[in-house]
Amino acid sequence: MNGMLLLPWLGLLLVPAQATHEVFVAADAAPGGDGSADHPYREIDDGLQACAERTASSTGLRILTLLPGDYPLSESLRLDARHRGLLLRAATPGSARLLGGLRLDPAAATQVQDAVILERLPPASRAQVRVFHVQAAALSAPIHRGMGQSVAPAGSEVFLDGRPLTRARWPNEGFARVAEVLDPGSVPRNRAADIPLEQRESGPERGGVVRLADPSRLQRWAGAQDAWAFGYWFHDWAEEQLPVAAVDTGAGTLHLGLPHRYGLKAGARFYLTNLLEELDQPGEYHLEAATARLYLWPPAGEVGEILVSTLGGALIEIEDCDSMRIEGLVFAASRGSGLVARNVHHLTVRDCDFRLLGNHGAVIHGTSNQVVDCHFEDTGASAISINGGDRNSLQAAHNLVQGNRIHSFGRIWRTYQPGVQVGGVGQQIRHNEIYDAPHSAIIFSGNDHRIEANEIHHVLQETGDCGAIYCGRDWTMFGNVIRHNFIHDLSGSADRWQNAIYLDDMASGIEVSGNLIYRCNWGMLIGGGRDVHIDGNVFVQCALGVSFDARGVGWMAPHIADPQTSTILQRLAATPLDSPPWSTRFPQLQSYLSDRRGRPVGSRLRNNLFLNTPLGRIDDRKSVALSDNQERVESVDWIRLDPDAPGGLSLVGKEFHRIPLQRVGIRGLGK
């Protein structure tokens, strides 16, 4: 690692030779402990209070150690400036779990006796489904959610032996299709400020009405209560879960209780969920918040640990604090996020496990923070959100996300909730493995980020018009570098635009260099951006290498015409282009409105290799310079299948086009 990059974190590594104060907590401790190893506290809050008091009265390192066990939380643990310098850790990594839910005893389940419930269940399920009585105040119903909606605590979920179970739904796998739209409902997107006034929609909002291809199915839902419909109702990248207002079995129609952001269209994908009437296979469940009952068809075999998420807040919230470490903890089974840290500095989160969460894994805003060597799995929204720095002064935050294994994220919020969400100025996203998700791996905004040496694969699995690494709609994204990443195995189709790297809607000023893109649908889609430099990348066995369009003088020209409605123009106007450091570092931005407005001026493709891959399409070759690119057809023996390697691939170690292949991903750390 560059020594200069280490400087912001040296304060965490150089612990002064002063007294160490260690406080212990044990989940099974007897009441009245004093926090010693022999008589630990029983409650984490008691340990935090003791550490805060010692922070105020003495110097030295303060350690709060959680002894092995589970720590169920009914409310968030809150840390602040009183806990400056604290090390919060598990006694051994992974041995202490913070739980935002309840554990159910499998032996407490009984057969369903209620005649009304039995009538609603499918006949084949009636002898299989078991019922649990849960604490009445603990359960939360499903919520309205989706693209364009703020992330909120998810409805209560059920987890079995460390895996999320499926809320009873139809169809059991995949999606059904809308056969006909009888009423598209209102379109909230058409009420936004960037819509010309004469085109804006007004009047009351209303949900739409759709007809199913198989109307007979609706007969089963005639008595359904609190059903929800999840779908990609119009665009392939805009999901939304909407309440079902009514089922008309006679007409074969479904009436939605809220409008979808973009309206409805025939052929759209959707499924119905939260239906007791569709609890028809092992591993499905139905939670009734009103009656505090869980109906579960257990999977075959012995039933182990059952958890039900209840906590709506983050497991840990930190605000206005610095010089803190969190190590070796497990954050699990919450309706909310694992960790939320605001205005924090020199926070290190190391060797922690974030799993089975309804919202984000870790959300951190501040400077000189690190998330390193952690594991993120089954988060409802993004795994990591990292932000900080100042755009006006281009002051970097120096936050680091490194060496993390991130997968199965975007489990509830399916789009625009990536493995790593990056904002602000000067974040480092390095040596992570990111995979298994419906949408993007990394989405970034802002400036001067380094996205490098990451391995990304098997994302974009449910959506279209998307990129494994994605940004968009901003001329001022200068200083960002995407380099030395290994992106592979992204399936897709020519009409759905799944891309390894997607610089959407005229994102500009970005360097994309030395990346290996292997077995992907499209390598890169560049949406008309200016000053985009694509240098020294290798594309292998992709359907298309690069598509570089000129939308700024095509379909998008009206969107950069009116300062009152144009997002791009508003972002440009909000940036101090005429003052240092912007005027000295990025002087070309001052001519974007006068010099060939809308064209991808200053962009280039140079020294790229396309192996068994067509180079692709460059719409404006007068604006985009091409030089020293090669298209070749040959065998590729330096990428080999290896079932024991992460992602099933290994690299044989050659440095090709200046790409240090053996240093990519988690396995490349330290090489």
Q: Which residues contact 67 (CB under 8 A, 6 or more apart)?
A: 24, 25, 26, 27, 40, 91, 95, 96
pLDDT tens for each residue of 408-444: 999 999 999 999 999 999 999 999 999 999 999 999 9
Question: Amino acid identity of 356?
Answer: L
CB 545 within 8 A of CB 506: no
Question: Where do we find the tokens 């039900």?
Answer: 308
Residue 614: strand pairing partners: none
Tokens at 259, concatenated: 């409008």
Bridge partner residues of 390 (DSSP): 395
CA 22/CA 86 separation, integer angstroms = 10
Amino acid identity for residue 654 in this structure: K
CA distance 462 to 436: 10
- Rounded distance between C-alpha atoms, residue 415 and residue 466, angstroms: 9
Whole-number pLDDT of residue 11: 40
Is residue 90 a contact partner of residue 332, using CB atoms and an 8 Å limit? no
CB atoms inside a 10 Å sphere around CB 141: 14
b/e map 462-493, b = 16+ CB within 10 Å: bbbbbbbbbbbbbbbbbbbbbbbbbbbebebe
How many C-beta atoms surround the C-beta of residue 370 within 10 A? 24
399 and 388 Cβ atoms separated by less than 8 Å: yes
| pLDDT at residue 202 in the model | 87
Distance between CA atoms of 455 and 401, rounded to whole angstroms?
13
pLDDT at 435: 97
Determine the pLDDT at residue 9.
38
* Distance between first and last Cα of the chain: 10
Helices (H) and strands (E) in the chain, counts: 6, 58
What's the CATH architecture for 170-273? Beta Barrel (2.40)
- By C-alpha distance, which of 330, 347, 212, 331 is closest to 267? 212
How far, rounded to the nearest angstrom, does the alpha carbon of residue 121 sit from its chain's CA centroid? 35
Question: Is 638:617 a contact under the CB 8 Å cutoff?
Answer: no
Residue spans per domain, the chain: 103-168+279-307, 170-273, 491-671
Among the listed residues 356, 412, 410, 401, the one whose alpha carbon sits nearest the alpha carbon of residue 383: 410
639-656: per-residue pLDDT in tens? 664 545 555 555 554 555
3-state secondary structure at position 590: helix
- The residue behind tokens 């009103």 is 290
Cα angle for residues 417, 419, 423 (degrees, 5° grid): 75
**Helix-, strand-, coil-residue percentages of the chain, each rounded to 5:** 15, 40, 50
**pLDDT, position 404:** 98
- Interstrand relation of 353-357 and 329-334 (parallel, antiparallel or unpaired): parallel
**Residue 585 exposed, middle or buried by CB count within 10 Å (0-12, 13-18, 19+):** middle
Rounded to whole angstroms, the Cα distance separating 122 from 138 reads: 27
Q: How far apart are CA 439 and CA 466, in angstroms?
A: 7
Q: How far apart are the C-alpha atoms of 629 and 632, rounded to whole Å? A: 10
Residues of the chain whose pLDDT is less than 70? 1-19, 55-59, 136, 637-658, 671
